[in-house]
Amino acid sequence: MLAIIGGSGLTTLSNLDVSHREVVRTPFGEPSGALVFGQICGHAAVFLPRHGYGHTIAPHAVNYRANIWALQQAGVSGIISVASVGSIRPDLDPGDLIVPDQILDYTWGRKATFFDGPGTPVRHVDFTMPYDAALSQRIVAAAKNLDIPVHVGGVYAATQGPRLETAAEINRYQRDGADVVGMTGMPEAVLAREMEIPYAAINLVANHAAGRGSSSAGIHFESLEQVLHEAMGRVRSIIEETVGCNDACSVAEGTV
Binding site residues, ligand HPA, CB under 6 A: 84-86, 159, 164-165, 181-183, 206-207, 209
User: Residue 21 Cβ, how far from ligand HPA at the closest point, in Å?
Assistant: 27
Residue of closest CB approach to ligand HPA: 86
Residue nearer to ligand HPA on the CB measure, 165 or 240: 165
Nearer to ligand HPA, 87 or 136 (CB): 87
CB of 180 to ligand HPA, least distance (A): 8
Pick the closer one to ligand HPA by CB: 101 or 165. 165
Query: Taking the complex as a whole, how short is the minimal distance between the CB of residue 56 and ligand HPA, in angstroms?
Result: 17
Looking at beta carbons only, is 97 or 256 nearer to ligand HPA?
97
CA distance 159 to 193: 19
136 versus 159: smaller Cβ distance to ligand HPA: 159
Nearer to ligand HPA, 43 or 208 (CB): 208
Q: Tell the smallest beta-carbon distance from residue 184 to ligand HPA (Å).
A: 8
- Shortest separation between residue 178's beta carbon and ligand HPA, angstroms: 11
Q: What is the 3-state secondary structure (H, E, C) of 180-244?
A: EEECCHHHHHHHHHHCCCCEEEEEEEEEECCCCHHHCCCCCHHHHHHHHHHHHHHHHHHHHHHHC
Residue 236's nearest CA partner among 93, 154, 156, 139 is 139
Q: With respect to ligand HPA, which residue has the nearer C-beta, 32 or 72?
A: 32
Q: Are 2 and 78 within 8 A, CB to CB?
A: yes
Shortest CB 87 distance to ligand HPA, Å: 8
Q: How far is the CB of 245 from ligand HPA (least distance, A)?
A: 28
